[in-house]
Amino acid sequence: MTKKMRVPSTALVITASMSLSGLAQASGSAQSQIQHTGISGLWVLANVSLAGIRAQNNPSVLWRTLALILGLPGTIVTFFAVAEGSDRAYGIDLPRKGRP
C-alpha cells in the first residue's frame, strides 16, 4: 500500500506566487535588456571596425574618428593592440584586395 503525500495548499500558493513574481520581473526588464543589447552591439561593431581600419591602414580620417568615439573605451585597447598596416587584428589575418 502506498501513501499519498499531500502538499499543504499554502505551500502551493507561495510557490506559485514566487514563480509568477519572477516571471513578471523577467518580462518587465525585457525592453531594457533589448535596449542595452543594441548599444552593446554598436560598441562591439565600432571596436571591430577600428581594428580592421588600423590593420589594413585605411586612410579615412572620418571613419577612424567615428569608430574611435563610438567604441570608447575599448578602442583604446585596439589602438595599442593592433599594429598599423599589419593585415592582422587580434590574431586574425584580414583579407586585402590585390593580395594573393
Integer Cα distance of 90 and 83 in angstroms: 10
- Cβ distance 55 to 83 under 8 Å? yes
Residue 22 vs residue 12, higher pLDDT: 22
CA distances from 54 to 8, 40, 83 (A): 66, 21, 7
Total count of domains within the chain: 1
pTM for the whole thing?
A: 0.58
The yes-or-no verdict on residue 31 having pLDDT over 50 is yes
Q: Give the mean pLDDT of the chain.
A: 74
3 located within any domain: no
Sole residue written with cell 593580395: 99
pLDDT of residue 13: 46
Would you mind telling me the total number of residues written for the chain in this entry? 100
20 located within any domain: no
Q: By residue range, what is the domain housing residue 39? A: 33-93
The yes-or-no verdict on residue 3 having pLDDT over 70 is no
83 located within any domain: yes
